[in-house]
Copies of this chain bind each other. A is one copy, B any other.
């Protein structure tokens, strides 16, 4: 992470927190997608869902980048969005937590 070395334990925690946040967000997108599809009345509503979904996929692909070099940034953003908590990150080194918390405040 960000030129910080990661222990195996930290990698395990990072993977778990990352996956939980990703699955949570995918679940939210799924629920909204189904709702939008059910409410669509006109073809234009349907094409709007398509555009919205393509944008969500793009956002998620960009946001959830599990390269160790990117994880401090990823977790910082997720913390800022309230998608993860500081408790979930317990077990990561103080150096990483400090970076993550800093990024969350930006």
Binding site for B on A (CB under 8 A): 26, 29-30, 33-34, 37-38, 40, 43, 46-47, 49-50, 53-54, 57
Contacts and interface: CB of A to CB of B under 8 A. Distances in A.
Main secondary structure of the interface of A (DSSP, over half): helix
List the 5 closest pairs (A to B, CB-CB), nearest first. Answer: A37-B37, A26-B43, A50-B53, A33-B46, A34-B37
Contacts of A30: 40, 43, 46
Contacts of A34: 37-38, 40
Given A47-B57, A54-B50, A57-B50, A33 B37 contact: yes
Contact of A37 (B26, B38, B43, B54): B38
